[in-house]
Amino acid sequence: MIEPALPPHEEPHDEAQSLLPWYLTGQLSASERAAVETHLTSCPRCRADVASERRLIAELVDLPVEVELGWTRLRERLDPKPQAAARGGARREVGRRWRAGLPWLGWALAAGQIAVFAVVGQAIWPAAPPARYHTLAGVAALAAGNVVVIFRPDTRERELRATLEASHARVVDGPTAADAYVLRVPASQRLAALATLRARPDITLAEPIDAPP
């Protein structure tokens, strides 16, 4: 479909309206920004649009994109067999292409998983099957995890990210069947990272899964 074009911006009002989204995100050139600001001083309608659009942006930015992903993961647990059959082909193909370029990757990932599973055991992974495929995210598992955490179920992505940053941690595996994540924190900061993690309100469990450095 060819979209109907906007009328030419002959009026400062139309020009300001078309630039408003990028004015509000600070993405205009100095001359464009100056033109918009000049117009705003004399246009109550555009000033009102600025105010309402800022609130719209705040809400859009805050919309939880993880809802869809989370629901799909849960849906797969509720009805795993048909979903697994449908997914297998595409994921195996991606995994095949990836491993074809990195023949040692599969062995490295497998070794890392064995080490983690041996330490933590069934308390954290009561029913976790061995991975049937590896996507690109599996590259992260090359660095072995040394801490396992469980986030509160209602933790939002922003909070999760803040917690990871505060503890200088990277996610190297998860979520497992028990919703646990394996993290890698710098060995020299392991104790401090554990203390930080345990103090976070969004963490319900934080335990080391390797020997102290």
Partner 1 sequence: MSARQGGTADRRRDIARPAAFDEARLIDRIAEGDLRAFEQLYRLYHPRLTRFIVNMVHRPQITEEVLDDTMLVVWNRPTSYNGASKVSTWIFAIAYHKALSALRRHREPVEDKHAETRESLEAGPEQLLGRRQAREALLTAMRELSPDHRAVVDLTYFHEIGYREIADIMDCPIDTVKTRMHHARRHLKRVLSGQMADWL
Under the rule (CB under 8 A), what is the footprint of partner 1? 1, 3-6, 17-18, 21-28, 33, 37, 40, 52-63, 65, 67-69, 72, 87, 90-91, 94, 97-98, 101-102, 135-137, 139-140, 142, 157-158, 161-162, 170
Is the previous residue joined to 153 through a cis bond, with omega within 30 degrees of 0?
A: no
Sheet of strand 180-184: strand arrangement = 170-173, 180-184, 147-151, 203-208
CB 185 within 8 A of CB 146: yes
In whole angstroms, the minimum distance from the beta carbon of 23 to partner 1 comes to 5
CB 124 within 8 A of CB 178: yes
Q: Looking at beta carbons only, is 95 or 124 nearer to partner 1?
A: 95
Q: Which residue has the tokens 């600025």?
A: 50
Q: Looking at beta carbons only, is 102 or 123 nearer to partner 1?
A: 102
In whole angstroms, the minimum distance from the beta carbon of 81 to partner 1 comes to 16
Measured in degrees and rounded to the nearest 5, phi and psi for residue 148 equal -115, 140
In whole angstroms, the minimum distance from the beta carbon of 74 to partner 1 comes to 11
Q: Looking at beta carbons only, is 33 or 168 nearer to partner 1?
A: 33
